[in-house]
Amino acid sequence: SSQNLSEEFAEAARQLKKEAPRIQFGKIDVTHQHDLRKEFNIQTFPTVKFFVNGSRKDPIDCKGVRQASAFITWVKRRTGPSTVLINSTDQAEAIIKADDLAVIGFFREHHNDSVEVFCETARDVPEMPFGMTASEDVCANYGIQKNTIVVFKKGKPVHHEVLEDGRQDKLSLTRLIKTFTLDLVTEYNIETSVKIFDVPVENHILLFTPMNSDTFNVIYENYKSAAAEFRGKILFVLVDTNEARNGRVFEYFRIRDIDVPAVRILNLTSDAKYKMPADEVTVENLKEFCQSYLNGKAKLHLPSEEIPEDWDKMPVKVLVGKNFNSIVF
C-alpha cells in the first residue's frame, strides 16, 4: 500500500540522514501538483524518482523497491560502487552466508563488458548483496573458469550464468536475478501478488487448478519442471481455484469450473492472453506452449460468448469474439 511504502521511505530517509546527509528525501502529493505530475509523467502511485546533480531532466526511476533497507541499498549503489570487491575465499563465503540470497560475479579481469553489465544489474537489484572477484584462487575454489555469475540461496549455488562479452544485456540479467526473490512457482495470493508484479518479467504463465485434487501433485511437479527451463523469461504462477478470494482472477481470464486445470499466458504490457492448446498439463505440453509463445507463434485467446442468432438482421451487426475475425477481417 501507499501508506506502507511511505513509512518505509521515511525510515530510509531517517537512516541515511546520519550516513549520507548529502542525499535529500522529499515527498510530493501530486493530487495538488498537476504541473509536476505532468512534467514527470506520473502514471502510477506511489512513484519514486532519483534526481542527480541538481538536474530535473531524466531522473532515475526507482521501481519495485518497498523496504527501507532496499531503498538505502538502492541509493548507495547509485552514488557509490554497486558491488563489493572480493579478494579471498573467506570474504566470498562471508557474503554468501550473510543473507538468504547472494550474487557473485567471477571474472577473468576487472574491466570488460560483462563486468560493466554486472555492476549495472547490481544497481537495480537492491534486495540482495552483490560481490565480484577476478582472483584466480577464488575462481578456482568454486570451480569456475569462464566469466560467470552465480546465484547462491541459503549458502548453496542455485544458478550459474556464463557471460559472454557483448552478448549480455542488463535487463535480461536483472529479470533473471530478480526471479530468485520468488519461488520457482509462486502461489497467487494477496501477499505474493505485490512481489509477483515487482519482478520485471512481463510474461506470466498461470496454472488454474484446485490444490486439493487427486491429480494436483503430479500436475504441480510437471509445472515446476517447466518453470526451471524458462526462469527469467516467463514467471510461473499457481492459482488455487478453491480459494474464493481468487474469484476476480478467474473472472479476468474467464475461467469456469469445468475448464480446470487450465493454463494461460498473460503479457502484462499488451494485456494479451493465450490459452495452452493441449488439455493435459504435461512437461512437454507446457514447454511447447511456452516456447511457441516466446517465438511469437502462440494463438491469441479471445474468450467469447456464442454468436447471437440474429447478429446480422439489423443494419448494425453484432460482433462477439467468435465471429469478429471472420466478419471484420
Q: Judge whether 304 lies within some domain.
A: no
- The verdict on 32 and 122 lying in the same domain is no
Q: Average pLDDT in the 215-233 region?
A: 97
- pLDDT at position 104 is 98
- The verdict on 166 and 211 lying in the same domain is no
* Last residue in a domain, options 179, 207, 228: 179
- The verdict on 190 and 152 lying in the same domain is no
Residue 301 in this model has a pLDDT that exceeds 90: no
| Percentage of residues of the chain with pLDDT beyond 70 | 95
Q: How confident is the model at residue 166 (pLDDT cuts 50, 70, 90)?
A: low
- The verdict on 101 and 49 lying in the same domain is no
Residue 311's φ and ψ, nearest 5 degrees, are -60, -30
∠ CA 12-17-19 to the nearest 5 degrees? 95
- The verdict on 199 and 247 lying in the same domain is yes
Among residues 120, 27, 126, 18, the alpha carbon closest in space to that of 72 is found at 126
- The verdict on 154 and 119 lying in the same domain is yes
- pLDDT at position 32 is 86
Query: How many folded domains does the chain comprise?
Result: 3
Residue 163 in this model has a pLDDT that exceeds 70: yes
Q: Among the listed ranges 5-19, 95-109, 139-153, 309-323, which one has the minimum average pLDDT value?
A: 309-323
∠ CA 308-313-314 to the nearest 5 degrees? 110
| Percentage of residues of the chain with pLDDT beyond 90 | 67
pLDDT in tens, 1-30: 678 888 999 999 999 998 888 899 999 888
* Last residue in a domain, options 139, 156, 179: 179
CATH label of the domain that carries residue 273: 3.40.30.10
- The verdict on 98 and 52 lying in the same domain is no
Q: Judge whether 225 lies within some domain.
A: yes
pLDDT in tens, 123-134: 999 999 999 999
pLDDT in tens, 53-110: 889 999 999 988 989 999 999 999 999 999 999 999 999 999 999 999 999 999 999 8
What is each CA distance from 1 to 6, 178, 194, 240, 283, in whole angstroms? 9, 21, 9, 24, 37
pLDDT in tens, 184-195: 999 999 889 988
Residue 287's φ and ψ, nearest 5 degrees, are -60, -45
Q: Judge whether 52 lies within some domain.
A: yes
Nine cell digits for residue 53? 546533480
Kindly calculate the radius of gyration of the chain based on its CA atoms and give it in whole angstroms: 24
- The verdict on 128 and 164 lying in the same domain is yes
Burial class (CB in 10 A: 0-12, 13-18, 19+), 84: middle
SS3 97: helix
- pLDDT at position 318 is 75
Tell me how crowded residue 325 is: count the other CB atoms within 10 A of its CB: 11
pTM for the model:
0.84
- The verdict on 128 and 208 lying in the same domain is no
Q: Is 157 left (phi over 0), alpha (psi -120 to 50) or beta?
A: beta
Q: Judge whether 75 lies within some domain.
A: yes
- pLDDT at position 316 is 83
- pLDDT at position 176 is 95
* Last residue in a domain, options 179, 202, 235: 179
- pLDDT at position 231 is 95
pLDDT in tens, 289-299: 999 999 999 98
Q: How confident is the model at residue 325 (pLDDT cuts 50, 70, 90)?
A: low
Q: How confident is the model at residue 302 (pLDDT cuts 50, 70, 90)?
A: confident
Average of per-residue pLDDT values in the chain: 91
Supply the DSSP symbol for 305. P
Among residues 153, 156, 159, 248, the alpha carbon closest in space to that of 208 is found at 248
Among residues 193, 185, 196, 189, the alpha carbon closest in space to that of 221 is found at 185
Domain residue limits at 212: 183-295
Can you tell me the distance from the alpha carbon of 222 to that of 55, in angstroms, rounded to the nearest whole number? 51
- The verdict on 170 and 188 lying in the same domain is no
- The verdict on 133 and 214 lying in the same domain is no
